[in-house]
Structure 1
Amino acid sequence: MKITLVIASMDCGGAQRVMSIIVNYWARKGWKVTLLTIDDGSEPPFYDLEKSVLHIPLEIAGASGNLLAGLWNNLKRIYVMRQAIFYSNPDVVLSFIDETNVITLLATQGLNLPVVVSVHTDPTACPISKIWEQLRQWTYPRADKIVVLSQAAQNFFSPQLQNRISIIPNPVLRPKFEKNPFGQQLVKPAVIALGRFAEEKRFDLLLQAFDKLKDRHPQWTLTILGEGELRPELESLRQELGLGDRVYLPGVVKNPYEFLQQADLFVMSSSFEGFPMALCEAMACGLPVISTDCPSGPREIIRDGVDGILVSKVDAEALAAAMDKLMSDEEERQRLAARAPEVTQRFSLETVMGMWEAVISEVIGET
């Protein structure tokens, strides 16, 4: 099997993490895998790729100064991507994330190739610009298959597209439990969170919730792994709340499992998600977890009261109440933690990749 996959970049992120898992799985199966990225390749992929994966940075990223420049740049992107896909000579093309999906669908017109596009967030809560939304409505009917992460994401699309949509969750890998050669990374007992420092992650809410508990639980600390444009705001809020010696923001780490395996509680405070890998990885490590009940994502992963807790309101009071409950009760934390690793069975690599391969077999059969 020859497959060409397209994504904007392979930097740190949930979709990129999933892409690396998928391409490595197929490469190990002996498939010929070509990975096209829109960036210039000046930074190596954040996630390790198998040596047999042919990674080609197309050098077609970059912002446009005005509408005319944007039109020209996108025409260039379409041409360059079309050439790259054509010369990779694939049996099927798989693209990740909305804007890249649109460009891929335009670039493959007339090539007589089956194209699968994958949506990696909740489109009801994560709108794109009006121009890209119009392009999405125009191009998505040309996809042979649209893959989404949840029923809520499927419901976003028009009735005309429903028979082209498949729901495939992200795969959850079993962590390697190895002794950390660098010693203890966290000040325990420790709450941990993980994600990009962006508005939808609502780490400001998490800081406010932790602030409400700092006197009741004076030994506990909070570590948030990640990076992003809101770092200055989060650092400022940390100081404003007087949490400078209790909240740690160490940045992006290559192996979050080292931190997750040392933590006592994982908290996700997002206002929306797709199918959050951070939450899955925390549960795979046997952590009790708390998450806001987003319109999609966490509720597909957490079995409320069985292997984690869902918080119905996205506010600091509700989040603090759930955190207080588990921070105060080690026995309850252990009960939830005992069931959490079952996530690796429910969304195992073999199960999820079987679903992907069924989709690929279907679209190749239709061509």
Structure 2
Amino acid sequence: MLTEIAILSPIGRNAGRAHGGITPVVTSLAAALDAAGRTVELVTFSAGDPRHALPHLSTEVRLHNLGAGGRRQHKRRLGRYLEQRRPIALLAAGHRANLLAAGYAGGQARIVLSVHNAVSPGLSRLNPLRRWLRLHALNRSYPRADAIVCVSNGVADDLGQLAPATRPKIKTLHNPIATADHDSDAPLHPWLTDGSGPVILGAGRLAAQKDFATLIQAFAGLEHNPQARLLILGEGPDRDALLTLATELGVADRVALPGFVPNPRTHMAAAALFVLSSRWEGFGNVLVEAMAMGTPVVATDCPSGPNEILDDGRFGQLVAVGDRRALRDAIAETLVAEIDPRPLRERAAEFSPELVAERYLKLLLPEGHR
């Protein structure tokens, strides 16, 4: 059977244990393209069976594993795959996949790369040699592609500044966020059902990028709402430090870090407020997921995504990154405000997989193949 669209993306062993990230975006897009009547195959490189990390992948989406190995082996196997399957388009997701795919630009398949996070924050943490190597790879490989998808205008601007030759190829396409199904086998946290006070929710990897420390500090400053509680879903290296901070601030009995929840949307639907406190994002999928539940949101105006999702504050307050007082005030104001959930749900629907898939098809397939 002809493969019209191949999607190349690494699937890590912990892909199913992270809120956001590339994997749910890729699987959601693949399912939507399949539902639109396209023949889609997800191509990955994994040491084991990648389906174990993809419990929600549609059974209609075919899966091809290039297997474990280094870049040379994967490049050779990808070339063999392209010769055998002859897809009309190859969409790559993630830097490693982008480099592999760019090596086959100019062949029979249309090569489209996708960038899911601003590159600059990652560069700032590299030593000079590794920073130069990453920039060299961007400027050498990415411009070869037929097109480059960036998931937000901020990511697009960042890439264009770092690799100017990519600018004519860049197209902003926001992430597909499934908004209809929020069933989950995971039980709700007791705080969400006991009715004893508003619950503020955060979700994401417990790491520096998400800046949950500032969220805990802001929460501790809510002097006029002593019944409020803070629930942060996720796992990560900062867990112990965050619990220690909550203890130092005297709010340990009102802060809970219950770990990873596979589908946080039932928690979002029951929460009084969802807060994204990140220092940076590629897009901010969890914001859209919370809005789809009709839950009010507050976010940092970080690069990049939240400003675009919230339309410069129209759908939720935006505060400066790392400003705990501004975040505290925005949380306090939102908790007492009467917010109509309908505009939030309508805004979230603009990022539905069906609509996003239509936009991708215009970029991936020549007019005669649509």
TM range (shorter): 0.7 to 0.9
1:83 aligned residue: 80
CA distance in 2, matches of 1:322, 1:46: 37
Structure 1 window deviating more from structure 2 (117-126 vs 231-240): it is 231-240
Summarize the Cα distance change of 1:185–1:364 in structure 2 as closer, same or farther, 3 Å threshold. Answer: farther
Choose which of 303, 306, 310 in structure 2 pairs with 1:298. 306
Does 1 or 2 have the higher relative contact order (CA < 8 Å, sep 6+)? 2
- 1:152-163, aligned counterparts within 5 Å? 152-156=154-158, 157=160, 158-163=163-168
Residue 14 of structure 1: aligned partner: 21
Whole-angstrom distance in 2 between the partners of 1:185 and 1:223: 11
2:265 to 257, 261, 276: 257
1:53-132 residue pairs with structure 2 within 5 A? 53-60=61-68, 73-106=70-103, 108=104, 111-127=107-123, 129-130=130-131, 131-132=133-134
1:81-230 equivalences in 2 (<5 Å): 81-106=78-103, 108=104, 111-127=107-123, 129-130=130-131, 131-156=133-158, 157=160, 158-176=163-181, 182=187, 185-187=190-192, 188-213=197-222, 215-230=223-238
| 1:337 matched residue in structure 2 | 341
Question: What is the alpha-carbon distance in structure 2 between the residues aligned to residue 291 and residue 139 of structure 1?
Answer: 34
User: Does structure 2 retain, via aligned residues, the 8 Å contact 1:94–1:116?
Assistant: yes
Shift of 1:246: 1.2
Quote the offset at 1:236 in angstroms. 3.0
**8 Å contact kept, 2:274–2:295:** yes
Q: Deviations over 1:262-305 (max 9, x none)?
A: 00001010111111110000011111110000132001011355
Count residues in correspondence: 348
**Cα-to-partner distance string for 1:290-345 (whole Å, 9 max, x where unaligned):** 00001320010113553210113432122112112223x1xx1x325342112233
Counterpart residue type for residue 139 of structure 1: S
Q: CA deviation at 1:192?
A: 0.4
Alpha-carbon distance between aligned partners in 2 of 1:313 and 1:122, rounded to the nearest angstrom: 16
SS in 2 for 1:281: helix
Separation in structure 2 between the aligned mates of residue 57 and residue 145 of structure 1, nearest angstrom: 24
2:218 alignment partner, SS class: helix
Q: Which secondary structure does the structure 2 equivalent of 1:306 belong to?
A: coil
Q: What SS class does the counterpart of residue 273 from structure 1 fall into?
A: coil
Q: Deviation at 1:47?
A: 4.9
Distance 1:203 1:75 in 2: 39
> Helix, strand or coil for the counterpart of 1:335?
coil
What's the secondary structure of 2:252's corresponding residue? Answer: coil
- Does the 8 Å contact 2:22/2:93 carry over to 1? yes
SS in 2 for 1:233: helix
Question: What TM-score do you get using the length of structure 1 for normalisation?
Answer: 0.86
* Corresponding residue of 1:347: 351
Contact 2:150/2:171, CA 8 A, preserved across alignment: yes
TM-score by length of 2: 0.85
- The alignment yields a C-alpha RMSD, in angstroms, of 2.6
Partner amino acid for 1:26?
L
Gaps of 5+ in 2: none
Q: What are the Cα deviations for residues 194-241 of structure 1, in whole angstroms up to 9, with x where unaligned?
A: 11222111111111111222x432211111111223223323323333
Which amino acid in structure 1 is aligned with residue 261 of structure 2?
V
Where does residue 239 of structure 2 map in the other structure?
231
Q: Which amino acid aligns with 1:155?
A: D
